[in-house]
Amino acid sequence: MKQIELIDISKSYDRQSNVLDEINLSIDKGEFFVLVGPSGCGKSTLLRMIAGLEEISGGVLKLNGEPANHLPPKHRNLSMVFQNYALYPHLTVEQNILFGLDVKKVNKQEQQRRLKETAEMIGLSHLLKRKPKELSGGQRQRVALARSVVSEAPLCLMDEPLSNLDAKLRAHMRVEIRRLQRKLGLTMIYVTHDQVEAMTMGDRIMVLNEGKVQQVGKPITLYNEPANTFVASFIGSPKMNLAGAELNFDKQMLVVEGQLTFNLSPVDLQHIPLMEKLTIGIRAEHIYPAFDREATHHLEVASVEQLGNETMVVFEEIGGQLWNAKWPGQWAVNPGETVPVHLSVRHFCFFDAATGQLVQAANNEQVQEVVAL
């Protein structure tokens, strides 16, 4: 069932230029949907339009199949978690959580039932009598989350709720929010600029840039088959390595930025679009160390990051951009060294050099499947 539908939604503040332009989207009941994009792309504005906090300039918003453009926020049956927690400093945790139920005049017995269930679920039972100033950032975010959950609204909107937390707590809260959403069967729309949050939390992701939809799909689809060079450079950590390339039909050769040459087999040519000027992209994990395999090229190391379980190697510029490689394990590589690597055109994504649109996705290995016992 389509719980939310956006049909040609646009937003303008001056009636001349749109900050959001013809957004078309449908979100199913029980789906965890992520809006992701750089700062200023319009994702928070779109969330506020769904909540009824921003006026819709054009198009139709439907909630549960009914037009909702002019429906006031209190009648949209949704809850919202803000970036800045939005807690009342003079109220206790318990009073903050129950504030919305008090406004709706829910009876006290029902309030206490919901409070007990929610506090136990989110781990706030021992903090109910404290004031917000006595809580850590993670605990405050849990209170904001509990206030949303206790409303029992089927639709929950979240506007960058983890951006004020440290990295370790963000990772923990990502898991906690996802578990809570599944347990309660909520439909959740989650706004973030952090593509790691988007990849790890969403059932589907919509990438926005300058008010326009770049791509909508499952996280792994956006990673493997980015619709354009913007999505390729935004989704993935580190981002996809991009460079200009020219295909020489006569010599059956692909030349990347005049620096890397690839002799092409008939099988390779089947994978490469027959266009003279292309933009190629390759993921960091597909730049292999060639110490245990045939080297195709030698690249100069610019920097090395030892992360324990893996080594991030940054190579000197190719076409004006540093290239990143991700090698499993620990590697004794030093900046300034020239190391052998193995590159294959079969791991290249090919984009139209003029438009930036994807022409041919990489021929990557199939996703591993785990058979449940």
pLDDT digits (tens, 9 = 90+) for 36-86: 999 889 999 999 999 999 999 999 999 999 999 999 998 999 999 988 888
With a cut of 80, say whether residue 371 has pLDDT above it: no
- pLDDT given for residue 331 in this prediction: 92
Q: How much of the chain, in percent, has pLDDT values that exceed 70? A: 97
**Spatial distance between the Cα atoms of 50 and 350, rounded to a whole number of angstroms:** 36
Using CA of residue 41, residue 43, residue 45, residue 49, what is the dihedral sign? positive
Closest by alpha carbon to 76, among 48, 117, 37? 48
- Asked whether 86 and 132 are in contact (CB, 8 A), the reply is no
Question: CATH code at 352?
Answer: 2.40.50.140
- Residue 172 and residue 39 in one domain: yes
Q: Kindly state whether residue 234 falls inside one of the protein's structural domains.
A: no
- Please tell me the total count of domains within the chain: 2
Domain limit, last residue, from 229, 251, 278: 229
Residue 371 lies in a domain: no
Instruction: Give the pLDDT score at 365.
Output: 61
What pLDDT is recorded for position 366? 52
Alpha carbon dihedral 251, 257, 260, 264, in 10-degree steps, equals -30
The whole-angstrom separation of Cα 54 and Cα 49 is 5
Torsional sign, CA 282, 363, 33, 357: positive
With a CB cutoff of 8 Å and minimum separation 6, the contacts of 8 are 22, 23, 24, 58, 59, 60
Q: Give the end of a domain, one of 178, 199, 229.
A: 229
Q: What is the mean pLDDT of the chain?
A: 91
Q: Which of 90-99, 211-220, 264-273, 282-291 has the lowest mean pLDDT?
A: 264-273
- Cβ atoms of 229 and 74 within 8 Å: the answer is no
Burial of 317 (0-12, 13-18, 19+ CB in 10 A): middle
Question: How many residues are given for the chain?
Answer: 373
Give the model's pLDDT for residue 239: 92
The verdict on residue 235 lying in a domain is: no
- Do 321 and 274 reside in the same domain of the chain? yes
DSSP 284-295: GGGSEE-TTS--
CA dist 353 and 275 (Å) reads 9
- 36 φ, ψ (degrees, to nearest 5): -135, 150
State the pLDDT at residue 62: 95
Q: What is the pLDDT of residues 147-181, one digit of tens each?
A: 998 998 999 999 998 887 788 888 888 888 898 89
Which pLDDT does position 173 carry in this prediction?
84
User: Is 187 in the same domain as 252?
Assistant: no
CB atoms within 10 A of CB 19: 18
Structural domain including 324 reads: 243-360
Helix H or strand E encompassing 50: helix 43-51
Q: Strands 155-159 and 187-192: what pairing? A: parallel
- Same domain for 202 and 143: yes
Q: What is the dihedral of CA 215, 221, 222, 228, to 10 degrees?
A: -70
DSSP state of 317: E
